[in-house]
Structure 1
């Protein structure tokens, strides 16, 4: 049996068959009522297969590959180009889209007929695939001729839409799809032949508009327009531009509308950033943040303006408080105290207000946190009426935490206010000064039972500890703990007295035992105690020695209080006085009339203290003693008598002793502590570094101490010199700016 050999198909014969099929395909594309039959399709496929598998010289693969390309070229030249050339603008775009869709159909069908070429011949020779050949024909013949006109037509439509006209967005999406597809996997055609020109046109369009708007519109109106434009451009991308254009397009719009006019917008006379801040235009400020955050360094000028505005408002509050203080000379203590309280309250309100701006309008951006911090640091470190901000804050806390303070607040409000005060403390450079003032006032609250609530006292210490570290609050925490222990001691003392009936101090006695290191230093004068009190002291000493033999008691009589009965002609009155006042009054149990020198000798106090005590008893509100001569000032030639005619509607009165102005002492104590802190810091640094230059040593020292106070460069220099004298450091012999650590 012999296999019948396949009949050889020559090139012309085969191609004639193929052309019939191609003609049918062209008719279909031109809209004629024809269609492919399955047999016809199979014939075309088989013809190609046979012509490619014949033995040489009848293998027509290369010739068919060339003819495949020619088929497209013929169709494009005969049908596509003429129809495109006779149309313009939008009509040309519609025709292009139609022709492109037809072309892709033609490529799909022809590549099926010629499939065998793709599978073997093309892959072996590394030639462009059938699909690519079809697309390249369109690119070389149609795209290269029309891409410029298409680009112009599309840009023109985009501009029309920007001016408010309705356009066929679907058409543009399809046209721009051609730019993408014709790149065959690369975005070069889209970017170079369309996007580049579109971006230039966009910049020009918005540049023209912006130059008019900036003259006509207020800052808020301009920003509304800018935001709307950006929204519409973003919209454009989602509807017909390629997504890769979004960032570039928005950058162009932002540049022309915002970057170019940053300063003009922010500084607009009646509507710029300062005005928006002044008038609390929260919505406009939020919009400003949204817009300017999108441009490079766009937020810098906004945050600078914010900082200037907050600084100006805070400085105005300082000036206002200064003016109020200097205008109210009369009744100065109370008025100035009240003014200071109001000043701190206003600063807290200012901080609340602008912190809300930072959180809400400026979305917690670090740049605005920094601006707020720097602004508050400026005016929070200015004093008012001779008081530093550290002292004012400490007084404000004292007023909130003590019984009968001027601020009547709920527990929640107190907690909230204390939280805010601690936040303000972060802006104050002299935190150590605040700590010392606060400690003095805390001591008075605790010792004189003036503290309204132990929980609040502990709560603020916790907050301060979180803000400034454990070292900052360790002494204060010790003070609060001391008071708890002191109550236990007192209970123990009362039990001791009950179980030792032979021991009797003669009068009711309460003693508060404190740990020296925790509390502020108090002068302990050897006051000559009245006999009635001497026994009390001895009894308590005996009790305390039963508890510990290792601790020495130092009595601070200046902090003591006494309740004594004054037997006046009209009625007895209970007097609440200090130990100093009580000691002075008890002298008149044995003498009717005493001179200033006699009182001073018997009390064994300084002139200052004697004068204060006698002034409070004879020249102030309650005249328990009669002074001769009856002048307002105490002098060493004065005489004093008990005023038996004294009376008051109350049965119990408190006679205050004028407080000593402790400010000077606090400042001196803090200065002394700072010297120690600088010394310790320098030694610490030098111990680890061994050798260090002057500038670096100063810089590191400032860095270490900044958390508590801002060290003065002169002070550091002075401490370095002192440490050299004390042989902790030495100067390098060759370089005087270099220091060595001496172990």
Structure 2
């Protein structure tokens, strides 16, 4: 009995690696001698044979030794690893270095080499495949080898390969000569990689090919239609009577275009929607030229354009709402600002389509307007489009706004914003929000550039009329006059030595009708501030005796020197805040009630003031108890130990939500506007039916807002009770005007 030496895995695999390395060199075209019979016998295994040849069969020996020296499982893993190593070291670098047709050729070459490698390795590992793989029900070695190529090579390159193949097919359709054998070999890779199934071929190539084909022939169809029309007109020129031309053209257009228009326009990959989605400007121009010649041919295209723009607009609203819910995504700016910018870009894009592709045709102008009317009047994260546009302007026009733009960019942005305002139904709401924000810019010196302020008012006036901007113009004028008024006041103080106020004081006179309504209060001012108010009253009486001054202290601002133990700090405060702090010049401790009574401040205002001075970033006052909110039982003391690294600090007063008040004010104004419109109409018509009165009222008011029909009915009833109108005694649906 012959005794065999145990062959270790390391020794056996070292022999196999020599053979595998030689095989790789042959595949790479490197200098290498073919396998001789001894090398082949050393690696190759087969059934049968005598004891003399068995000692050369490496795989056979490694697989048939008694445990624990049966290395079948390790060899199965080593087989796959050897293939993966070759792919990673040689195949992938070679492919990544090439592009387009050269990449396709390399891919085919590598696939053919891979199949040769798998075939040879399957021979070397035949015994492993025949016994170990079968007993364990594992994937056969050939399938393992193919899956390595699929997972490492095909998955990385199939998209690039598909694009390159489609490019070659397009070139062939356009008349170029291409290497058809190369295309067949490339597509065979996607077929063979499926190991008996067409899954990879169908999903990675065929679907894209069919879609590309449809788009190609859709474009060609348009060109073909144009060519057909040209040929028919040539027939008229050569041998038909000229009167036949319009009839002939109409017949050709009807058969080629209108009969199948809906099917052509609605095709998923090549219809009008696809052309809009993929920005196929040339094809859209061709489509317009064709259907413009056919009676009624443009309306379906206009409807598709309207639907497409509406969908894109609603998608922008959804993006803005998602951004509002996830502040972390708003690094590029507030969601309101980003939304308006996106809407401007959307309008620019499709206005370009209307003017360039559709030659400004009324059908497409109407489609654009109706689409923007639909989505731009929807709410966006709790805000109306009117508010968003006003906020957009404010961010551009105020100092330190979120947008840093050049003068030309600001003018361009304002111009485009005004164009969007055309689509907003609640223009009166925009005007009120805009005036609120304009007032803050003007009163608190937050406006970055007076020229831009006048420029946008001019643009709004041109777009919406003089009545729309009259109050805004009055506000700007007031501020100009205020500067002259302040100079006169300072001259008055200089001429009257007994009017030494001991402080610097500036007063702005605002015309009540121009500015938004502000809550006035009977604030009891500290003596230092009251002295200045009295001096200005005396001065103003020298200018006019017919106007009443109403002081709006909530809009005032003061600079107070705070003398703290470490250093003196200038505090920039609101009037309410300054009046509160001045009380502590004569008192060490004051209760909530004492402060409120002394200043005659309402609880709402007092709470906000004390919150800002004792619970915010800058704790000028110490509060007892030390809670984060202010209550009516709290007491306050001056914080002498307060300090800050800055010499001047601004202490903001918590802002109240002005949105609700703006909406309420606009609601009241609308009620008066409806009354006025009804009276104007009835005064001119004397007698009018109910439905016609409703229609004319809506028409008159629609330039500023869309009135609610129920509200119009309610206002009619109110005017009847106030004896402006009466119902006809014989027909209750008819109204008469009462002089």
Give the TM-score normalised by the residue count of structure 2.
0.70
Counterpart of 2:365 (choices 363, 369, 372) is 369
* Corresponding position of 2:208: none
SS in 2 for 1:641: strand
* Corresponding position of 1:393: 389
Specify whether residues 336 and 553 from structure 1 end up closer, same or farther in structure 2 by C-alpha distance, changes over 3 A only. Answer: farther
Q: How far apart are residue 474 of structure 1 and its match?
A: 0.5
C-alpha contact 1:527 1:603 (8 A) present in aligned 2: yes
* Corresponding position of 1:27: none
Q: How far apart are residue 335 of structure 1 and its match?
A: 8.3
* Superposition RMSD in Å: 1.8
SS in 2 for 1:502: helix
SS in 1 for 2:688: strand
* Corresponding position of 1:454: 450
When structure 1 is superposed on structure 2, of 426-435 and 218-227 the one drifting more is 218-227
Counterpart of 2:351 (choices 351, 355, 358) is 355
Residues 1:547 and 2:543 are matched in the alignment: yes
Counterpart of 2:378 (choices 356, 369, 382) is 382
Query: Counterparts of 2:313 and 2:303 in 1: how far apart (Å)?
Result: 15
* Corresponding position of 1:256: 255
Residues 1:703 and 2:699 are matched in the alignment: yes
Query: Counterparts of 2:713 and 2:624 in 1: how far apart (Å)?
Result: 56
When structure 1 is superposed on structure 2, of 233-242 and 441-450 the one drifting more is 233-242
Residues 1:344 and 2:340 are matched in the alignment: yes
Q: How far apart are residue 503 of structure 1 and its match?
A: 1.9
* Corresponding position of 1:109: none
C-alpha contact 1:219 1:266 (8 A) present in aligned 2: no
C-alpha contact 1:504 1:539 (8 A) present in aligned 2: no
Query: Counterparts of 1:246 and 1:739 in 2: how far apart (Å)?
Result: 58
Residues 1:740 and 2:739 are matched in the alignment: no
Specify whether residues 316 and 644 from structure 1 end up closer, same or farther in structure 2 by C-alpha distance, changes over 3 A only. Answer: same
SS in 2 for 1:387: coil
Query: Counterparts of 1:216 and 1:521 in 2: how far apart (Å)?
Result: 60
* Corresponding position of 1:692: 688
Query: Counterparts of 2:434 and 2:690 in 1: how far apart (Å)?
Result: 35
Residues 1:511 and 2:502 are matched in the alignment: no
C-alpha contact 1:564 1:575 (8 A) present in aligned 2: yes
Query: Counterparts of 2:698 and 2:543 in 1: how far apart (Å)?
Result: 46
Counterpart of 1:655 (choices 632, 641, 651) is 651
Residues 1:680 and 2:679 are matched in the alignment: no
Q: Which aligned pairs between 1:399-438 and structure 2 lie closer than 5 A?
A: 399-438=395-434
Query: Counterparts of 1:362 and 1:215 in 2: how far apart (Å)?
Result: 23
Structure 1: gaps spanning 5 or more residues: 1-213
Q: Which aligned pairs between 1:69-218 and structure 2 lie closer than 5 A?
A: 218=217
Q: How far apart are residue 504 of structure 1 and its match?
A: 1.3
Counterpart of 1:726 (choices 712, 722, 726) is 722
Query: Counterparts of 1:545 and 1:397 in 2: how far apart (Å)?
Result: 38
SS in 2 for 1:635: coil
* Corresponding position of 1:520: 516
Q: How far apart are residue 620 of structure 1 and its match?
A: 1.1
Residues 1:271 and 2:267 are matched in the alignment: no
Q: Deviations over 1:400-422 (max 9, x none)?
A: 11111111111111111111111
Q: Deviations over 1:658-691 (max 9, x none)?
A: 1111111111111111111111111111111111
C-alpha contact 1:558 1:579 (8 A) present in aligned 2: yes
C-alpha contact 1:524 1:557 (8 A) present in aligned 2: yes
Query: Counterparts of 1:641 and 1:352 in 2: how far apart (Å)?
Result: 59
Query: Counterparts of 1:216 and 1:611 in 2: how far apart (Å)?
Result: 67
Q: Deviations over 1:492-515 (max 9, x none)?
A: 111222222332121001100111
Query: Counterparts of 1:716 and 1:218 in 2: how far apart (Å)?
Result: 56
Query: Counterparts of 2:522 and 2:701 in 1: how far apart (Å)?
Result: 39
Q: How far apart are residue 349 of structure 1 and its match?
A: 0.8
Q: How far apart are residue 315 of structure 1 and its match?
A: 0.7
C-alpha contact 2:573 2:651 (8 A) present in aligned 1: yes
Larger radius of gyration: 1
SS in 2 for 1:640: strand
Query: Counterparts of 1:303 and 1:285 in 2: how far apart (Å)?
Result: 12
Query: Counterparts of 2:600 and 2:272 in 1: how far apart (Å)?
Result: 68
C-alpha contact 1:528 1:602 (8 A) present in aligned 2: yes
Residues 1:643 and 2:639 are matched in the alignment: yes
Q: Deviations over 1:350-407 (max 9, x none)?
A: 1111111111011011111111000000011011111111111111111111111111
Structure 2: gaps spanning 5 or more residues: 1-212
* Corresponding position of 2:301: 302
* Corresponding position of 1:323: 322
Query: Counterparts of 2:611 and 2:237 in 1: how far apart (Å)?
Result: 86
Q: Deviations over 1:304-330 (max 9, x none)?
A: 0000000000011111111221234x8
Query: Counterparts of 1:216 and 1:387 in 2: how far apart (Å)?
Result: 41
Query: Counterparts of 2:218 and 2:667 in 1: how far apart (Å)?
Result: 51
Query: Counterparts of 2:214 and 2:337 in 1: how far apart (Å)?
Result: 47
Query: Counterparts of 1:704 and 1:564 in 2: how far apart (Å)?
Result: 52
Specify whether residues 388 and 516 from structure 1 end up closer, same or farther in structure 2 by C-alpha distance, changes over 3 A only. Answer: same
C-alpha contact 1:227 1:291 (8 A) present in aligned 2: yes
